[in-house]
Structure 1
Amino acid sequence: MSILYIDESGTDSLKKRTDPENGNSNFFVMAGVLIESTELENAFELYEEVKRKYFKNTIFELKSSLKKLNFKDDFKVSNSELKLMVKDDVYNVICNANCFTFGVQLNKVSLLENGKIKSKNEIYSLAFEQLLLAVQNFKKTTHYEQPIIVMLDSREKKHNERMYTLYRKAIENHRTNLKGFDGNEFSPTLNFVDSTFTFGVQLADFVAGALWRGVEQNDKTYSKKLKEKFPTTDSGKFIGYSYIICK
């Protein structure tokens, strides 16, 4: 069995080219981290080692935004320097762990202009569909036999119900429209977890954050570093295979 941890970065509201810059992002990114169950403990220990190194308490949700951090008192550098050190170490964990990463990049402006999305629900629905497609591409070409449990950060009930419905819609759309798609290879529903206690979701947040900053802010520092974790075709291609761009 394998677990696909999912998280996203960017806002899910529709965006027009003429909209003012009010915090609504141009891009929405969804990322997945796929780990076999036998590799979970090793990946967890790598991640916990980073938390033990920097923080007074390890039981908290470490996010790629690096806000509200309670560092140990014995560091002689500034908080901004510490944050960079934490980022470097977490992305090293992802690179060194035996896992695969997947991503979907949605250009909300062009998708709206081209009539490919008409509501914020369609943003999540499209992202789920394309992320499942990316994992399916990998499974088919590598004969990856592991059934996959899908996990997502739990929020308020209304949001969870919305995510549940949109994930089911993505599964059913693929069953109907995608030749060779076997929905039985994925968990039939999302498994909602508390990200405070679920390190895989925290890793997915860091992947999504790196991908989003790469396109939204043109900061590709960590997205380039993660490139090696995206499965590729025999010719070395990952765009359109494990990382799908929608525009």
Structure 2
Amino acid sequence: MHILFVDESGSPPESDKAHAQPYFVLGGIVIPEDIWAKVASDLARLKSHHHIDGEIKWRYFAPDRGGKAHALSHLSAEQRETLRTQLYEVIKHYKSIRLICVVTDTVKAYELGYIKTGDDLYWYSYKQLTERFQYYMQDLERVVGQKLNGMVVCDHRGPKDDARLRELHHKLMNGKSGVISAYGNMVEGLFIAPSHLSVGIQFADMVAGAVYRAFRTTDRRFADQITSAFRSSPAGKIEGYGVVKFPKGW
């Protein structure tokens, strides 16, 4: 079993706010079940070493400006950077971990006739992400020569948003249209967990944040640290495989 943990960076805006929020990222980290316990142990070790009580989130690494205290408030800027690097080292350490992200240009997406709302942005980004996860499972299955299954775990967003996403996920898994991929390797159902209770979602948040920053500010310092973990083509191409742009062509 391979588990795709998903979190977002940025928010899918409504059309009138797209220029102010030009990018939206869904970040995914694929963790095989046989190494999940090791990843969980690594995260627990880092939290203990840095005396962290609570979840780790990308936004907690920003400089504090008198806001609400959080799990990293006691760390200096230098200590936070060390921790961030150590988290990315965990990702790179396990060769069977793969990263898949969808980067949506919200302005260009709204130029498409079928994108009308922020929900549409999330839905089509999620579709791109789960399709690439299915393709990855198919590719891996051919390599190992046996049937492999995958499941998706998403961060809790809110009762109504969660219910909507479950419906969309069900539609994808059971769709018969030619524009919907066959999800033959996917376990039925979508699992939703609060980020503070999920090791995988905390890592997915760190991945999504790094990719969002790379596109929003062209600062690639953090995305470059995890480049080797992104899904890629046999020739080593990441774009379209591990980093997917929506819509195409930008």
TM-score category, normalised to shorter length:
0.7 to 0.9
Residues 16 and 113 in structure 1, CA contact (< 8 A), matched pair in contact too: no
Aligned to 1:122: 120
Deviations along 1:75-116, one digit per CA (max 9) or x if unpaired, are xxx722222112111111111134111111100011113435
| Backbone CA RMSD of aligned residues | 2.3
2:171 aligned counterpart, secondary structure: helix
Pairs aligned (count)? 235
Map of 1:58-73 to 2, 5 A cutoff? 60-66=54-60, 68-70=69-71
The amino acid of 2:28's aligned partner reads: G
Q: Structure 1 segments of 4 or more deviating over 3 A?
A: 15-19, 67-73, 169-173
**SS of aligned partner of 2:132:** helix
Rate the CA distance shift 1:116–1:225 in 2: closer, same or farther, 3 A: farther
CA distance in 2, matches of 1:186, 1:56: 35
State the distance in 2 between where 1:14 and 1:218 align: 24
On the 8 A contact 1:125/1:169 being kept in 2, the answer is no
Q: Does the 8 Å contact 2:29/2:203 carry over to 1?
A: yes
Deviation digits for residues 181-205 of structure 1, max 9, x if unmatched?
Answer: 4324223221111221210010001
Closer, same or farther: CA 138–63 of 1 in aligned 2, 3 Å: same
The 5 Å alignment of 1:183-194 reads 183-194=183-194
Q: Does 2:168 match 1:166? A: yes
The answer to whether the Cα contact below 8 Å between 2:134 and 2:186 also exists between their aligned partners in 1 is: no
Q: Give SS of 1:220's match.
A: coil
The answer to whether the 8 A contact 2:5-2:30 is kept is: yes
Cα distance in structure 2, aligned partners of 1:18 and 1:32:
23
Paired residues of 2:56 and 2:71 also in contact (CA < 8 A): no
Alpha-carbon distance in structure 1 between the residues aligned to 2:90 and 2:18? 40
Distance 1:8 1:71 in 2: 20
Shift in Å, 1:167: 2.2
Identity of aligned residues (%): 22
Structure 2 match to 1:79:
76
Instruction: Give the stretch that moved more between structures: 102-111 or 63-72.
Output: 63-72
The answer as to whether partners of 1:4 and 1:35 remain within 8 angstroms in 2 is yes
Q: What does residue 178 of structure 2 align with?
A: 177
**Cα distance, 1:5 vs. partner?**
0.6
* Cα deviation, residue 17, structure 1: 8.3
Gaps of 5+ in 1: none
Q: 1:128-179 deviations in whole A, cap 9, x for unaligned?
A: 1100121122222332632112111224311211221222233345x42258
